Amino acid sequence: MRRTSYTMDGFCLLYLLLILLMRSGDVETNPGPDTAESTVSDMEFLKLAHAIPPSYYDAVGISLGIPLAQLQAILIQMSNNYSNAFLRVFMKWKVKQQPPHSNRRQLLADALREIDLGGLSDRLLNEPLTPNSTGGPSRLLESQAKPSSAESQTKPLSPELVERCANDFKFKYRSTLCKIRTDPLNPASIVQFEDMHTNLVLQEEHGTEKRLLDYNDILDLKVNGEFPKRIMVQGEAGAGKTTFCAKIAWDWIGARHFSHFVWVLIVPLREFKQHTIGEIAKSYLAKNNPATVSQITEYIRSNPDKVFIAFDGLDEISGKIMKTKSWESQPTDQMQFQPSQPSVTSSDQACGSSSETSDIRLVDILCSDQLASCPVLVTTRPWRAVEIRSDGDLMKLYTFIHVEGFNRENLSVYIHKYFPKNDDKANQLIQFTNENDVISENMAHYPIYVAMLCLLWKELDEQKLKEMKSLKSFSQIFKVMIAFLKEHYAQKMVKKVGSPSLLSYLKKIDELLGPITKQALNGLLANTLTFDEDDFQICPESKDTACRVGILSQEDRITSIMDIHERNSHVQLPVFFPHKLFQEYMAGVHLASLYESDRNEFNRLIEQVVLPRQEELRYLLYFTVSQNKSVATHVLNSMLQILKNLTFDIDVGREFPFIVDVAFESQDTDVAALVKDRVSSKAITLKISGNTTAHTIAGYAFIGLHVVTLCIGRDCGPSMSLDAAEIICSMPSLKELDCRESTVHHCFFEILARKGKESKVSGSSTIVMYV
């Protein structure tokens, strides 16, 4: 957010403007008689507006009885200038009817103290904020740079209150985080953590290699003999990163792993974009817990080795972590990624260090400017980890772990937990996943897809289950899932299956979901994953329908930072998609629809927004091209044009697998032929390494590319082995094969034996097989 500095002349100009507004009727004058001691002058309001940190904006407004919707409207009206917004809030409070003979100065001071602005509260009562006769900065403004004695000498938490806070945190996790949905789209389908939790496959980076890491050994990680202070946990969408954080909380609750920490703080970043660690922890406490934000912050600062912090979903927020020379380019909607002071001049402060303030912003923790000795774990999709990896100094602070999802054994355990009273049903699904290689290799590793498969396996009839066997891509399973949800809801309203009235009702649902798909895209591009009710005010029926269908969820209770304060005004309940993947799918539906309804906007978004952010928006591209052939052809043409303009083979080699992935998600043979024809002149060396996904290998086989050299350097399951064998037997351009017998499934040799005589591989090809 760009900050504006004001001189005292600027203060006076703004003050005069407000006087004019009062006289014109926009702001009413105070109707009641007050004494000088009980009133607060407009100039004092003005100075308060510039003294209070922006992160307190909502708290100040709500403590003064201003509804949240009005607060947001004021901020927008003031062009996100917090000082002006604070001033307008104070003016609104000033004209509000107060109890007879009330002392407004005392009321305002009490409100400030209630939200941990005790220093300003004391100054308001004890040192009237009159204009500074010397022309220098007022004493109140000086308090921005230096905490008052009241703030700097926060009374420490007693041992009893520390334990009470810990118990409140545990209650919070038991009642919310440590519950698992058996249906990923039904908030009511929750079970106890142990009933469904299944271990995930973890890998630790060790130099350029990865090695298996048992969850039970995670606290034995060592960097130069000590447990690492910063851990980055990477995982693809749906791999189980959030469940991994829940497991940490669960073990802390049960006095197993992590029990030696006094506090464990799990922070879902999508819910707390604009708050500090003290505010977040305070929001987890019971209403009658007297611990203040300042006390909590001071305890964490003084006892960093006793607190473990886990930030979940770094990829779900905007703003930079790396230290930069200027904050003017930062997004305006992420408060923790902005400095709390009016300007930052030192390179040491470029990451927004809050060392001179009593609170600690999240970015200061992530970049280790604050709480450097406190163990912190961060989860993210891989694309967002690149920012930390690209900064040499920051990368040295982090240990990197990968969440790989389920292996075959974990998959079996999860499915049996899903069907605890029906072993036959569970075994049938396990057999289906084993025999369907595409699902086994592409989807069965990801808990969210397994949960969706279990739900479909439980609910679909025999005919629909047969259709499931043809699933090959991520997009296809989402199409089946969304169609199931819509039909399931529609049949509650219209009982007769296949009737015209049912088809008509389904069409109405699609129409109502249109605004939801648009909101999904707008939110995704702005990295907004949690919405307010006001975001759907022009389409409330659409929001309600989406919630009933299961595509949207809405909390039935307050979970945000607003819990810190008494809710004396209407607070909106958050609305969100049950998983970011569902938002990405619905966004893809809307983006594809723009191809027909607004071609110019479609082209702008693809060329100027989506493709430049293709790693971040990978799944949006997948789901967009899966909607229809025309959209897929247009998108692949744009991607191939970029490929054509690349100069170095190394760039082509980096970009081409992604093009293959996108083409595979289209599942259109003409699109596959387009990609094949455009690269027919290139001699492709296909290396199946540890980083090559089954999805990419399936894409190469689907497109039928002119592979010249095939190197298999990783263990391949049935699906990849079959695809590799098909590539060998169908590629006349193949000149060299290099692989080890132990890396491929036995079906690889069965295909070669069966199709060897039909193979198009020339007799001059070199096949090197190690045993």
Read off the pLDDT band of 654 (50, 70, 90): low
pLDDT tops 70 at residue 673 = yes
- Over residues 725-749, the mean pLDDT reads 69
**Is there a single domain that holds both residue 204 and residue 246?**
yes
Nearest to 392, CA basis, from 322, 462, 305: 322
**What are the φ/ψ torsions at residue 683 (nearest 5 degrees)?**
-85, 100
pLDDT tops 60 at residue 695 = yes
**Is there a single domain that holds both residue 211 and residue 267?**
yes
Sign of the C-alpha dihedral computed for residues 455, 460, 462 and 465 taken in this order: negative
Higher pLDDT, 746 or 383: 383
Please tell me the distance from the alpha carbon of residue 749 to that of residue 752, in angstroms, as a whole number: 5
**Is there a single domain that holds both residue 193 and residue 131?**
no
Nearest to 554, CA basis, from 565, 566, 542: 542
**Is there a single domain that holds both residue 539 and residue 606?**
yes
**Is there a single domain that holds both residue 191 and residue 309?**
yes
Domain boundary among 93, 122, 147: 147
The amino acid sitting at 397 is L
Nearest to 240, CA basis, from 450, 525, 461, 462: 450
Please tell me the distance from the alpha carbon of residue 671 to that of residue 663, in angstroms, as a whole number: 7
**Is there a single domain that holds both residue 431 and residue 491?**
no
* pLDDT score at 298: 92
pLDDT tops 70 at residue 767 = no
Tell me if 345 is assigned to some domain.
Answer: no
pLDDT tops 80 at residue 761 = no
Q: On the CB side of 187, how many CA atoms lie within 13 Å of its CA?
A: 17
**Is there a single domain that holds both residue 184 and residue 85?**
no
Q: Are 711 and 766 in contact (CB under 8 A)?
A: no
User: H/E element holding 402?
Assistant: strand 398-405
Read off the pLDDT band of 516 (50, 70, 90): very high
Tell me if 63 is assigned to some domain.
Answer: yes
User: H/E element holding 31?
Assistant: none
* Helices 618-625 and 629-645: angle between axes, nearest 10 degrees: 130
For Cα atoms 166, 171, 174, give the angle at the middle one, nearest 5 degrees: 125
Tell me if 356 is assigned to some domain.
Answer: no
**Is there a single domain that holds both residue 437 and residue 519?**
no
Q: Are 157 and 165 in contact (CB under 8 A)?
A: yes
**Is there a single domain that holds both residue 483 and residue 440?**
no
Of 500-514, 572-586, 740-754, where does mean pLDDT reach its minimum?
740-754
**Is there a single domain that holds both residue 139 and residue 181?**
no
Dihedral (C-alpha) 423, 424, 429, 432: value to the nearest 10 degrees? 140
- List, as own/partner pairs, every contact residues 192-198 make where C-beta atoms lie below 8 angstroms and the sequence separation is at least 24, other chains included: 193/246, 193/247, 193/250, 194/250, 195/417, 195/420, 196/414, 196/417, 196/418, 197/243, 197/246, 197/247, 197/250, 198/406, 198/410, 198/413, 198/414, 198/417, 198/447
Tell me if 511 is assigned to some domain.
Answer: yes
Tell me if 592 is assigned to some domain.
Answer: yes
The amino acid sitting at 427 is N
Q: Are 419 and 426 in contact (CB under 8 A)?
A: yes
**Is there a single domain that holds both residue 197 and residue 168?**
yes
Nearest to 518, CA basis, from 545, 543, 487: 543
- Over residues 531-544, the mean pLDDT reads 86
Tell me if 604 is assigned to some domain.
Answer: yes
Q: Are 373 and 229 in contact (CB under 8 A)?
A: yes
Give whole-number Cα distances, 511 to 290, 346, 493, 646, in Å.
49, 54, 17, 42
pLDDT tops 90 at residue 678 = no
In 198-286, the DSSP E strands lie at 201-206, 209-213, 230-234, 263-268
Q: Is 456 left (phi over 0), alpha (psi -120 to 50) or beta?
A: alpha
Please tell me the distance from the alpha carbon of residue 591 to that of residue 522, in angstroms, as a whole number: 10
Please tell me the distance from the alpha carbon of residue 569 to that of residue 92, in angstroms, as a whole number: 15
Tell me if 172 is assigned to some domain.
Answer: yes
Between strands 575-576 and 530-531, the pairing is antiparallel
The range of the structural domain enclosing residue 742 comes to 683-771
The model carries a pTM of: 0.63
Residue with tokens 């491929």: 744
Nearest to 411, CA basis, from 391, 389, 429, 388: 429
Tell me if 401 is assigned to some domain.
Answer: yes
- Say which CATH number the domain at 169 has: 3.40.50.300
Those residues whose C-beta lies under 8 Å from the C-beta of residue 228, and which sit 6 or more positions away, are 221, 222, 375, 398, 399
pLDDT digits (tens, 9 = 90+) for 459-473: 888 888 888 878 888
Instruction: Say what percent of the chain tops pLDDT 70.
Output: 73
Q: Are 585 and 296 in contact (CB under 8 A)?
A: no
Number of separate domains in the chain: 5
Top-confidence range, 2-6, 314-318, 582-586: 582-586
**Is there a single domain that holds both residue 438 and residue 483?**
no
Q: Are 301 and 359 in contact (CB under 8 A)?
A: no
Three-state SS string across 272-307, please?
CCCCEHHHHHHHCCCCCCCCCHHHHHHHHHHCHHHE
